[in-house]
Structure 1
Amino acid sequence: MTRYGIVGFGRIGRRLAARLPGAVAVLARSPVTAAGGIPVCHDLRTFLDYGPQVVVECASRDTLAGMGPAILAAGCDLVPLSLTALADRTVERRLMAAAEAGPGRLEIAPGAIGTLDLLATAREEGITRVVYRQLKSPTMWKLIAATRGVDFDGVRTRTVFRRGSVRELAMDFTNNLNTAVGVALAGLGLDRTEAELVADPELTETAHELEIHASPGNAVLKLGGRDVPPDGDPVDYTTFSLMRVLRRRGARVVI
């Protein structure tokens, strides 16, 4: 059985610990009283001593930037979620260099958009444009510090209030655009992948759109979330995309 380690023990980390057979250790900075019988560590060395073969990072962009290269150098495969860390060019270069040097391997999970297969397939030949859109209600956008100064009260119809490259927007929306960075890594990169942030008063959940222009065929993917309060905890595809990535590693029939 594959030995898994979990870095971060918030909502996603707890879901993973409850679902992952083979989880051997959790690394958490804040005090954690229980992790379903899984040992809780508070420093990287102790965590690595438990011998995880695959480490899932669901802590923070600072954690990924600081610990990612060391985890890869220790021979652990790394599946990170806090991908906005890579919007910093220095962090991106350091993490990619560590993955190239190995022996650990870096694997990108789709996150909240559920799949990157279509985009990665299109990349094989003739991909020319990729647009990622994140949509929320004006009420939900107002809860995010990076939107201060935007007049959401006057929004009556679907409105794009911010455009730019994924790298540009991910630097400001550090907790919201991890999925956009995953999209960029699967396609044209952080600088050539376009991002749009959309306020839509018809929505009560976060939604995602992915627009792909490529020689094999153009495509549009639309994905909605569950109906939750603005400060609620949507059980979206993020956790479950991780589970698929991890289960595929040991499956005899891979789909």
Structure 2
Amino acid sequence: MLKIGIIGCGFIGGQICRAVDKGEVEAELYGLCDSSVVKALDLAASLNTCKPQYMEIEKLVRNVDLVVECASQAAVRFIVPEALKAGCDVMVLSVGALADKALREELFRLAKEHNCKLYFPSGAVVGIDGLNSASSAGISSVTLTTRKPPSGLKGAPFIVEHGIELEKIDTEIVVFEGPASEAVKAFPANVNVAATISLAGIGFERTKVKVIADPSLSRNVHEIAVEGDFGRFSARVENFPSPENPKTSYLAALSAISALKKMVNPFQIGT
């Protein structure tokens, strides 16, 4: 049975743990790690059948088959190389970290050297299957438009650096427009989906991102538009924000759970 370690015990990490605890994912939840020991212990205590241990990263990666990273972009730089060097497969949720070309190349090299797999769930968007298929031919353009309630952008580096007063926004406004390489740094907790789309499609520099603050919204909206040799398609999803963190869409957690199910199931559906 697949032995899993979770690093990051926030909303997504908690949802994954509960899915394993309920038997929705046939795997062993072996260990938890978080910058807050209390948070990790509280999550472990809330589970009914699984009894994961709290472990430091160095011990965790030596004892599991798969590390699930749901901590932060900053944490990816340390966590993922350590796991790969220990021979662990890794599921990366903070995909925006891979906008850094040097880090991306290092992780791909380590995965190959140590015969490991890197998994990137679809996250809070739909259409990744189509994008993967389209990339087998030629893609001319990929555009992601993200609309969020202003509160969902609170604390983003771009918002802070430009002194944007979110509470004063009373009508839809474009707060950012540029390549995915810049978007994932400007909004690290908001547009990890831009990184996933970039990896699946035409890269971080050619993927265009627009971020809109819309006070009329109660949901996080992501729209993808793709054109290429295959033709064109668009996909739109309206996500409920997680009750614990408005920057995170509930679908992001469900995507990680679905990816885990796909890994352990004997059959595969979709691209």
TM-score by length of 2: 0.84
Distance 2:253 2:19 in 1: 10
Give the CA deviation at 1:227: 6.8
Give the CA deviation at 1:151: 5.9
Unaligned runs of 5+ in 1: none
Q: Secondary structure at the match of 2:137?
A: coil
Please show how residues 223-234 of structure 1 align to structure 2 within 5 Å.
223-226=237-240, 232=246
Please show how residues 169-248 of structure 1 align to structure 2 within 5 Å.
169-226=183-240, 232=246, 236-248=250-262
Please show how residues 32-181 of structure 1 align to structure 2 within 5 Å.
32-34=40-42, 35=44, 36=47, 37-41=51-55, 43-50=56-63, 52-142=64-154, 144-148=156-160, 149-150=163-164, 153=168, 156=171, 158-181=172-195
Q: Does 1:23 align with 2:29?
A: yes
Is residue 27–residue 44 contact of structure 1 (8 Å, CA) maintained in 2? Answer: yes
Distance 2:137 2:208 in 1: 19
- AA matched with 1:15: Q
Q: Give the share of equivalent positions with the same residue, in percent.
A: 26
Give the CA deviation at 1:154: 5.5
Give the CA deviation at 1:132: 0.9
Is residue 156–residue 188 contact of structure 2 (8 Å, CA) maintained in 1? Answer: no
Unaligned runs of 5+ in 2: 21-26
Moved over 3 A (4+): 138-145, 150-155, 227-235
Give the CA deviation at 1:47: 0.8
TM-score by length of 1: 0.89
Aligned residues: CA RMSD: 2.3
- AA matched with 2:59: T
Q: Which moved more, 1:184-193 or 1:243-252?
A: 243-252
Give the CA deviation at 1:53: 1.3
- AA matched with 1:83: V
Q: Secondary structure at the match of 2:239?
A: coil
Give the CA deviation at 1:205: 1.7
Is residue 61–residue 67 contact of structure 2 (8 Å, CA) maintained in 1? Answer: no
CA distance 1:98–1:234, shift in 2 (3 Å): closer
Is residue 120–residue 196 contact of structure 2 (8 Å, CA) maintained in 1? Answer: yes
Is residue 7–residue 67 contact of structure 2 (8 Å, CA) maintained in 1? Answer: yes
Aligned positions, number? 252
Is residue 70–residue 93 contact of structure 2 (8 Å, CA) maintained in 1? Answer: yes
